[in-house]
Amino acid sequence: MRHIGLKARMAFVGSVLFAFYALVAIIAVEVYGIGLPIVFLGTIAFAGFQYKFGKWAAIRSSGAEDMDEDRYPEIHRSVERIADEMGLEKPRLMVAQMGVPNAFAVGRRGAGTVVVSTELIRTLSHDELEAVLAHELAHIDNRDVITMVMGQSIASMLGLAAYFAIAFSREGGIGNIIIGYMASILVQSVTMVFVLAISRYREYVADSDAARHVGGDAMASALQKISAAGKGRDADLDSDVAALAIFGGDRGGLEKLFATHPPIEKRIEAVRDVEKEFY
């Protein structure tokens, strides 16, 4: 079974998030008297909207445009080859200016999109760029992009539920609105802890998959160059999009505890270990 560790983590986090969702549904039905069918259909509609909107917003916030095949023929050929090896349909390719060498993937198998920054194209060699492309295709192949987006969706849903439950309680008043707002932030933060439980691990898995397709040296070298170019800088992306990108920004202090990406040094070490498996 491929990536049993990732699948186990995704199953665990999914179960916890579903439990949170079930709790909100019970409160909506028992306390507020909302019909179960309405709660069920409403949450499905909300999650579906979040997924579609999240994909659109990620692309739009990065300012990405379709990657012209005549201008970037080698990138298109590389993606076609790697996607074929992974048994994937070729995703839509887009290019954007992100301030640092970066790339991210959104969507699912059969409807994926990979966005590559112009800075990445200028910084990396062909082999290194192929490694990053393989990394992003691995995210689509492993379906962890959907898990991240849906996890963020459930966190937003729970935050809204907490806000409305407190802000519009029978007592009312400005105090309840303030407390409701604070509770919403707290609930979303706690929920995202579980989403972050797989966020860092999924990067290791995608690095490993990329190394198996293009070689560990190319993946390690790409990570080193990306880290060096982004040193002391943050990814010029929305926070939700940065969580999906190969470079999530330079973090220090307490921020490391809530980082969506593991340290580059540990990722390079893990990729080197994968390279040793072949020899």
Exactly one of 85, 136, 171, 277 is catalytic; name it.
Answer: 136
pLDDT of residue 277: 60
Q: Is 203 a catalytic residue?
A: no
Q: Where residue 276 falls among pLDDT bands split at 50, 70, 90?
A: low
Residue 197 reports pLDDT greater than 80: no
Return the bridge partners of 103, or none: 116
The sheet that has 111-117: what strands, in order across it? 65-66, 92-96, 111-117, 103-108
- Residue 259: the pLDDT is 67
How far is residue 33's CA from residue 69's CA, in Å, rounded to a whole number? 55
144: pLDDT strictly greater than 70? yes
What ranges do the domains of the chain cover?
4-276
Average pLDDT over residues 201-217: 90
What pTM, to 2 d.p., does this model score? 0.81
Q: What are 168-177's pLDDT values in tens digits?
A: 776 667 888 8
Lowest mean pLDDT, pick from 10-14, 58-62, 226-230, 255-259: 255-259
Q: Is the distance from CB of 26 to CB of 164 less than 8 angstroms?
A: no
31-88, pLDDT tens digit by residue? Answer: 667 787 887 787 778 777 877 887 888 899 889 999 999 999 999 999 999 999 999 9
**What percent of the chain lies above the pLDDT cut of 90?**
33
Bridge partners (DSSP) of residue 104 are 115, 245
Q: Is the separation of the CB atoms in 24 and 162 below 8 Å? A: no
Start-to-end CA distance of the chain, whole Å, equals 23
Is the pLDDT at 20 greater than 80, yes or no?
no
Top mean-pLDDT range of 129-138, 224-233, 259-268: 129-138
pLDDT tens-digit series, residues 236-263: 667 667 777 887 655 554 455 556 778 8
Q: Residue 11: what pLDDT? A: 78
